[in-house]
Amino acid sequence: MHASSHEVPVAGAALDALFQQQRRAFRRVPYPSANERRAHLDALHRLLTENIDAIAAAIDADFGHRSSHETKLLELFPSIQGVRHAKRDVATWMRPEHKSVSAWFLPGRAKVVKQPLGVIGIIAPWNYPLYLAIGPLTSALAAGNRAMIKISELSPVFGRLLAELMRKYFSPDHVAVVNGDVDVAQAFAGLPFDHLLFTGSTAVGRQVMRAAAANLTPVTLELGGKSPAIIAPDFPIDVAAQRVIFGKCLNAGQTCLSPDYVLLPETQLPAFIAAAKKEVQRLYPNIPQNPDYSAIINDRHYARLQGYLDDACANGAEVIALGDSAPSARKLAPTIVMRVDHTMRLLQEEIFGPILPVLTYRELPEALAYVVDHPRPLALYYFDDNADRVDRLLQQTIAGGVTVNDTIFHIAQDELPFGGVGPSGMGHYHGPEGFNALSKRKGVFWQSRWNTIPLLKPPYGKRVGRLLAFMLK
């Protein structure tokens, strides 16, 4: 790989010049054909499939240790699947939608045409730096746009690689990667994009929306929050424990969709803990050396997580480590915390690590009330075989997305809208939703030569009066 001397320029005027270059290029090609868009998606597909090992190695370097299987399973696979899906369906998504016309306007016709917006800004976090850049980019390209992507300052090795790969597969006036610190991210968010898609924390999401407001740039905010997992009274507890543990341990809990905490029947607590312990030992024996278990991204985050545990202990919680940690390698073992209460940071902040507070309930409605009383989460997981109760839960709680009887997997369904609600985000993307979010859906009315409008024109007399009396019924 080349050093960063060929880096796309980042700060101030250079960033603005790059934006203007993309905007001019967009004006030259305001509506790429379906074939052109498929060719762009093909280039993205090649970028991914021809550089799998280099991508996994770069992300591994940024994490200190990121399981290469996790990178392939959770970043490359969904990215490639999303590109393939968009390639297959983009021509269908592009088709105008014909709409009905009220009797007064017949025989005019109405349709919605979907038009590229222009230059899309994408800001990605460090936890899944590939997928959270490529997913939005797939929507942007399918919708016929140009895009600039800001990679997190915590993913510098990956950021340099992606910048270099993009230059190889795309011209910078089509897709460009921008790297740099938070000041660069701030300048980036201040560009007058035609749409800005941000993935990251709720706190930074607020700042991004403020910056975008100055330009009236519409935003899609993919944020975080505390996603609950509720286990219904008669659901097999070992199955629930295994599935919660799998979702929690992916990327060592540094997943926006990670089950943040569990709500389970009081009587099932010992069985849940035993099953969770067994599952961690089966999936990740010897955590310090285990290649399948990822590291915490940096010392600051490791200290933050350790701080949650210390705070919980100091306030009377019971902490059960489900394996050995290796702080020098930033490997934090999955840890269950019991006897938690709302004064603890563990129940206040998004955990974003392999710590699982377990709360108990006597009656299921208490669990629902807890969820409804707290900020609307990005995901909700509900384990229950009773379809009526599942329906009631879906009606009574609001969350970005739901997986029933498992965790995480609603994100992998390309036809489902993906996005949070309230403090966990706004707007949706993936598949057709992403295409629509990054298109202008333009309403077009096509007047016919002969129509009723002349009957309604001045001078208003009895005729118009009679017609109006009829129209206003």
Q: Which is nearer to ligand NAD, 138 or 199 (CB)?
A: 199
Q: Tell me if 125 contacts ligand NAD by CB under 6 A.
A: yes
Q: Tell me if 417 contacts ligand NAD by CB under 6 A.
A: no
**70, 164, 222, 350: the active-site residue:** 222
Q: State the Cα–Cα distance between residues 21 and 119, nearest whole angstrom.
A: 10
Span 292-351, contacts to ligand NAD by CB under 6 A:
350
Q: Tell me if 186 contacts ligand NAD by CB under 6 A.
A: yes
Residue 296 dihedral angles phi and psi, to the nearest 5°: -75, 140
448 half-sphere exposure, CB direction, 13 A CA radius: 11
Q: State the Cα–Cα distance between residues 205 and 423, nearest whole angstrom.
A: 9
Q: Tell me if 378 contacts ligand NAD by CB under 6 A.
A: yes
Q: Tell me if 129 contacts ligand NAD by CB under 6 A.
A: no
Please give the residue whose beta carbon sits closest to ligand NAD in the complex.
224
> Quick one: tokens of 158?
């990956």
86, 166, 189, 231: which one contacts ligand NAD (CB under 6 A)?
A: 189
Show the binding pattern over residues 65-104: x = contacts ligand NAD (CB under 6 A), - = does not. ----------------------------------------
172, 200, 323, 417: which one contacts ligand NAD (CB under 6 A)?
A: 200
Beta bridge partners of 176: 148
Active site residue 256: yes
- Can you say whether residue 114 is alpha, beta or left, with left for phi > 0 and alpha for psi between -120 and 50 degrees? beta
Q: Tell me if 165 contacts ligand NAD by CB under 6 A.
A: no
Active site residue 318: no
Distance set, CA 21 to CA 71, 168, 183, 351 (Å): 33, 18, 22, 41
Q: Output the 3-class SS for 200-251.
A: CCHHHHHHHHHHHHHHCCCEEEECCCCEEEEECCCCCHHHHHHHHHHHHHHH
Q: Tell me if 182 contacts ligand NAD by CB under 6 A.
A: yes
**70, 75, 164, 256: the active-site residue:** 256
Q: Tell me if 185 contacts ligand NAD by CB under 6 A.
A: yes
CB of 128 to ligand NAD, least distance (A): 6
CB of 227 to ligand NAD, least distance (A): 9
CB of 60 to ligand NAD, least distance (A): 18
Q: Tell me if 123 contacts ligand NAD by CB under 6 A.
A: yes
Rg of the Cα atoms in the chain: 25
CB of 258 to ligand NAD, least distance (A): 8
Show the binding pattern over residues 219-238: x = contacts ligand NAD (CB under 6 A), - = does not. ---xxx--------------
Q: Which residues have a Cβ under 8 Å from the Cβ of 303 and sit 6 or more positions away?
A: none
On whether the CB atoms of residues 349 and 307 are closer than 8 A, the answer is no
**In what order do the strands lie in the sheet containing 97-99?**
97-99, 109-116, 439-446
Locus of tokens 């975080």:
224
Q: Which is nearer to ligand NAD, 204 or 264 (CB)?
A: 204
On whether the CB atoms of residues 170 and 43 are closer than 8 A, the answer is yes
On whether the CB atoms of residues 21 and 147 are closer than 8 A, the answer is no
Binding residues for ligand NAD, rule: CB under 6 A, are 123-127, 132, 150, 152-153, 182, 185-186, 189, 199-201, 204, 207-208, 222-224, 256, 350, 352, 378, 420, 425
Catalytic positions, please? 222, 256
